[in-house]
């Protein structure tokens, strides 16, 4: 196979041959050398960078109209890789360290660091990606609960947490007992302090109150707790119940 067929990834069926013809090590060597003078121009239009979906892409000069590849740090990648196959993982296994530093700081190429707008866009597509949910015990819902737990665990350590938090309130992200997704702003109740109160929880659920799905991880629940309603606060119960009654 021609080396350029492997570089351009023109034949997806031959993907397995690509790694043989020009494996990651050779790509790293070429990237390292081409970037050794610190000029990112030296890799423009040469397909050397691996995307999240495993295909190889050539970075181009950034223009006002071109879409940029989102750079995902290792922790970001675990959360968002499934929503953006064209993102570029900036990990040591995917890129040499020279390239990582230059890609993170360049404004010349069609790459940009993960930002609030990207995350909001990913979050908007979450229900399409996972849903529809046939029920709270369905495997896809369980997968979602696991993902959203990781997301909120990631969020509490993210430098974007303060800005994102305001945006997230209106998105239907929280998995609740009934197998649906609700926005934080809708008044979802915490499952903390519900021990030995199963009867009360079931009764309130029948009245239309939503409780955070118990499968959400303890760390994520701890982060979410200040944003959730509490059964210990009768005012919360009455307010949410009154809102439900007015809306129904």
Closest CB to another protein among residues 25, 93: 25
Return the closest-CA partner of residue 75 out of 134, 154, 17, 13. 154
Task: Report which of 56, 110, 64 is spatially closest to residue 85, judged by C-alpha positions.
Answer: 56
Within 151-190, which residues bind another protein (CB under 8 A)? none
List binders of another protein among 46-105 (CB under 8 A).
46
State the Cα–Cα distance between residues 93 and 231, nearest whole angstrom. Answer: 47
- Rounded distance between C-alpha atoms, residue 215 and residue 137, angstroms: 10
Which residue intervals of the chain are DSSP H helices? 3-8, 15-21, 24-34, 74-80, 97-105, 116-130, 139-155, 161-168, 198-206, 218-224, 234-247
Residue whose CB is less far from another protein, 45 or 166: 45
Nearer to another protein, 101 or 192 (CB): 101
Select from 12, 13, 16, 45 the one that contacts another protein (CB under 8 A). Answer: 45
Shortest distance (Å) from residue 33 CB to another protein: 6
Angle at 63 between CA 61 and CA 65, to 5 degrees: 140
| Binding of another protein by 39 (CB under 8 A) | yes
Q: Is 35 in the site for another protein (CB under 8 A)?
A: yes
Determine the size of the site formed for another protein (CB under 8 A): 26
What's CA 179's distance to the chain center, in Å? 21
Residue nearer to another protein on the CB measure, 62 or 81:
62
Least distance (Å) between residue 170 CB and another protein: 47
**Interface with another protein by CB under 8 A: which residues?**
2-5, 7-8, 10, 21-22, 25-27, 29-30, 33-37, 39, 41-46
């Amino acid at each position: 196979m021609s080396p350029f067929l492997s570089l351009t990834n023109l034949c997806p069926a031959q993907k397995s041959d690509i790694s043989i013809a020009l494996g990651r090590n050779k790509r790293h060597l070429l990237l390292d050398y081409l970037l050794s003078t610190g000029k990112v121009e030296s890799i423009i239009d040469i397909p050397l960078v691996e995307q999240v979906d495993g295909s190889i892409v050539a970075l181009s000069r950034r223009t006002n109209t071109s879409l940029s590849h989102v750079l995902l740090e290792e922790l970001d990648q675990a959360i968002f890789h499934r929503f953006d196959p064209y993102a570029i993982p900036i990990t040591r296994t995917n890129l040499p360290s020279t390239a990582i530093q230059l890609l993170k700081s360049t404004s010349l190429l069609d790459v940009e660091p993960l930002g609030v707008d990207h995350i909001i866009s990913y979050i908007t597509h979450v229900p399409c990606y996972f849903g529809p949910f046939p029920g709270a015990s369905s495997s896809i819902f369980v997968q979602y609960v696991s993902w959203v737990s990781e997301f909120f665990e990631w969020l509490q350590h993210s430098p974007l947490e303060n800005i994102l938090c305001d945006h997230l309130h209106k998105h239907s992200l929280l998995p609740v007992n009934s197998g649906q997704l609700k926005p934080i702003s809708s008044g979802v109740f915490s499952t903390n302090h519900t021990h030995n109160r199963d009867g009360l929880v079931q009764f309130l659920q029948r009245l239309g109150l939503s409780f955070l799905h118990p499968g959400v991880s303890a760390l994520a629940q701890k982060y979410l707790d200040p944003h959730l309603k509490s059964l210990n606060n009768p005012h919360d119960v009455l307010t949410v119940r009154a809102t439900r009654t007015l809306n129904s």
